[in-house]
Amino acid sequence: MIRMKHLILLAGACALATTANAQERYRFGGGPSGGGWHPAISAGTQILNQKLKGKVNFQYSPSQGSVANVRRVGQGEFATAWGHIGQVWQSWNGVGLFDKDGSNKDFRIVANVRAQTQIIAVLADSPIKSFSDMKGKVVNLLAKGTGSHVNCRNIFTSLGLIDQIEARYTNFAKAAQALGDRQIDVFCSAGAPFTIPALTQLSISKPVRYISMTAEEQKKVIADNKFYVPITIPKQADVKGMDAPADTIAYDVWWIAHKQMSDDSIYNMLKVIAAPDNLQQLTKTARYWRDLSGNFNALKEHKIFVHPAAAKYWKERGIDVPTEVVKGY
């Protein structure tokens, strides 16, 4: 029986049905408007409800992003969601942004969603060509509570610019509009993996250009943030005005689930979403799903656990899941 503090109300009904014969109900945390997670997870919940009708029901719940998702899954407010590796690791160990929360191991990893990149962009006709040109400029670091904000802040802190810019904290959609209206000079955001919908849409009418890190800047950022790796964003045909590749950093996004979810619901959730035909359909709607996998090798170093039901599913798919990272509660 699940403890009452973990029950979440869904429009007057329990988020989780506690009886074996009742339909299980779960909240799936999403992302903010204008970001890549919002359409992807919304589409995911729709196909889950179609395929698991009468067995399990998922309610899509918008959120501020990675920080909020990881915290709310850890607290049982969301049954499942996506989170950046930085926030997942901090919550697991009770450090950084989760220092006051304390270590929380009431969740498990169920899938590797994909690697994200961090995009730093300006209007194509901007005089800003490098990070050093951003001193004294208005830079949007995205809304506080999002993983993208954390990554933006980490970058500008590592490069010694955090106190030399005029920071703004608006969401993806508003930030893109502000860039187009020249109310901000620089747009910083997560890429999924190389674009973000709000910025790509803006580029159609007002071309934009990505700012590239130097090799030394990449090294500084990665030295301070061990979960990042260097990456080059190829020139994106959909981003009008992007005239060259851009060097930046990348990091993993993980799909996590709270212990309130039954083994069967986690297994069936993955069986539906990761089925090749369903995944192909989802990818057409939201490309974010394209690289979903059971690659958990990085967790051996992070010492974060995979849910046994998830491990069972991925092993049946022929994935070699490291035994040492699979553990129940």
What tens digit of pLDDT does each residue of 287-313 get? 889 999 999 998 998 899 999 999 999
116 - beta bridge partners? 251
What tens digit of pLDDT does each residue of 245-278 get? 999 999 999 999 999 999 999 999 999 999 999 9
What tens digit of pLDDT does each residue of 33-86 get? 777 889 999 999 999 999 999 999 999 999 988 999 999 999 999 999 999 999
Rg of the chain in Å (alpha carbons)? 20
Nearest CA among 258, 257, 296 for reference residue 273: 257
Phi, psi (rounded to 5 degrees) for 55: -110, -55
Strand ranges, E, within 211-270: 229-233, 246-258
What domains appear along the chain, each with residue ranges and CATH number?
4-114+253-325 (3.40.190.10), 116-251 (3.40.190.10)
Q: What sign does the CA torsion over 286, 45, 88, 173 have?
A: positive
- pTM to 2 decimals? 0.78
CA 105/CA 304 separation, integer angstroms: 9
- Which tokens belong to 170? 């608006």
